[in-house]
Chains A and B, each alone.
Chain A
Amino acid sequence: MHTEQTPHQGAHIISAKTLLATWGALMVLTGLTVAATWIDLGSDLNVVVAMVIATIKAILVALIFMHLLFDQKFNLIVFVVSVLTVVLFVSITFIDVSSYQPSIRAHESLEPNKPFLKAPAPDPASVQAQPHP
């Protein structure tokens, strides 16, 4: 990692090479994440792969584009703590919802596939479209 330092404030200037390399890596990973959906890994594993790639990209953006690697460490702490709080929120809620979900399913199975929306009025666009094909 090549970085220069200003004599003025100790702020890091990220070299052009590093910026371009990071961008290149992000583009490659974007391609990779699209390509990963072409392969069937089972829907669970596909999600995991997509999230791992997204997280690698996010880390690249945060550490290099957002200077966290070179910055005062407290900013990194702020970022990490915020992410962990999101994880806390999502995971605890998730545990609860998945624990009470079976009882909702049991209730809903009494009336399977009950429509939640009122039966849609015939869509004018589709009605008009019908003669054409």
Chain B
Amino acid sequence: MTDTASTRPSSGVEVGTEGHAGEHGGDHFLGHHFKDHAHQLNTAKLGIWLFLGQELLFFGGLFCAYAIYRSMHPEIFAEGHLFLDTRLGAINTCVLIFSSLTAAWSVRAAQLNHRRALITAILLTILCAFGFLGIKYIEYAHKIHEGLVWGASFAPSSEAVQHATEAMAHGASSTLTEAHTLSNRLHIFFSIYFAMTGLHGIHVVAGIFAYLWLLRRAIRGDFTQDYYGPVDGVALYWHLVDLIWIYLFPLLYLIH
């Protein structure tokens, strides 16, 4: 152990590779300060979990705003959800749940050293993520076109209003019996809708970048049954994105 000084690369030079080679006999992917791969994997996973914990609190603020407005002004949700397309929301839910399956599959493939399955699973996850964003784009474009946007910019087109009033008249909502005029706070529903789905969408975009990075490394053959921490970590992140959506879908689209 006395010659560690010479084997440890000078800290300024080495960036961009995983850990420091050196003490672990040239094992490139094992950090010099970890005992072994299991130690590194468990530590990295704890790090990811802590990050996910802060993500929960980050979204927690929006869920708090949601809960406050939903309970204090239920009418804006009863009206607001009529402007959303439940079918597209449901399709997106299925897309995201399927991508969660492929993400979980990618971890399994990496653990079993199945490189081909790993690459396929990553590709499918990326594909689903793009699919999700595509459908989200259709929804957003439609909303923006109809003036169904956040806060002060809210100016629904008469068609959109007519459409929603018809839906009310059909008894789609039990809380709206004599709703002829829209609530004066309806714009806040769309503020919350865009804030929640927008922040979630940004996380999906970040997930795509993370998976593209994994794809490159998987093709290069970096991952083995000893070293698959990044696959595991990104999958955990992706599951959290899915988990948030599992709540967003009923909270925004499925209001009775």
Inter-subunit contact A94/B174 (CB<8 Å): no
A78 to B54, CA, bound (A): 10
Chain B contact residues: over half helix, strand or loop, or mixed?
Answer: helix
Inter-subunit contact B46/A75 (CB<8 Å): yes
Inter-subunit contact B184/A11 (CB<8 Å): no
- Chain B contact-residue range equals 35 or more
User: B243 to chain A: which residues have CB within 8 Å?
Assistant: 58, 61-62
Q: Is A98 part of the binding interface, using a Cβ–Cβ cutoff of 8 Å?
A: yes
- A41-71: CB near B (< 8 Å → 1, else 0) gives 1110011001101100110011011110001
User: B111 to chain A: which residues have CB within 8 Å?
Assistant: 6, 11, 13
Inter-subunit contact B108/A13 (CB<8 Å): yes
Interface positions of A from 89 to 133, Cβ below 8 Å from B: 89-90, 93-94, 97-98, 101, 113-117, 120-121, 123, 125-126, 129-130
Known: A34-B86, A123-B147. A97 touches B68 (CB 8 A): yes
A36 to B250, CA, bound (A): 10
User: B195 to chain A: which residues have CB within 8 Å?
Assistant: none
A10 to B78, CA, bound (A): 50
Inter-subunit contact B225/A6 (CB<8 Å): yes
Inter-subunit contact A126/B157 (CB<8 Å): yes
Stretch with Cβ within 8 A of A (4 or more), from B96-104, B196-204, B211-219? B96-104
Inter-subunit contact A19/B101 (CB<8 Å): yes
User: A117 to chain B: which residues have CB within 8 Å?
Assistant: 152, 154-155, 184, 187
How many Å from the CB of A93 to the closest CB on chain B?
6
Q: Is B7 part of the binding interface, using a Cβ–Cβ cutoff of 8 Å?
A: no
Inter-subunit contact A79/B94 (CB<8 Å): no
Q: Is B52 part of the binding interface, using a Cβ–Cβ cutoff of 8 Å?
A: yes
Residue of A nearest to B185 (CB): A116
- Chain A contact-residue range equals 35 or more
Q: Is B169 part of the binding interface, using a Cβ–Cβ cutoff of 8 Å?
A: no
Residue of B nearest to A34 (CB): B90
Interface positions of B from 103 to 130, Cβ below 8 Å from A: 103-105, 107-108, 111-112
User: A120 to chain B: which residues have CB within 8 Å?
Assistant: 147, 155
Report which B residues bind A (CB closer than 8 A): 37-38, 41-42, 45-46, 49-50, 52-54, 56-57, 60-61, 63-64, 67-68, 71-72, 74, 78, 86, 90, 93-94, 97-98, 100-101, 103-105, 107-108, 111-112, 145-147, 152, 154-159, 174-175, 181, 184-185, 187, 225-226, 235-236, 239-240, 242-243, 246-247, 249-251, 254-256
A-B contact pairs, 16 of them (CB 8 A): A16-B108, A19-B104, A20-B101, A22-B101, A23-B97, A23-B98, A23-B101, A26-B97, A34-B86, A43-B174, A51-B247, A61-B246, A82-B54, A89-B60, A97-B68, A116-B187
Known pairs A75-B49, A117-B184, A129-B157; list 14 more (Cβ under 8 Å). A13-B108, A43-B175, A62-B243, A66-B236, A72-B42, A72-B45, A74-B46, A75-B45, A79-B56, A82-B54, A89-B64, A114-B184, A115-B184, A117-B154
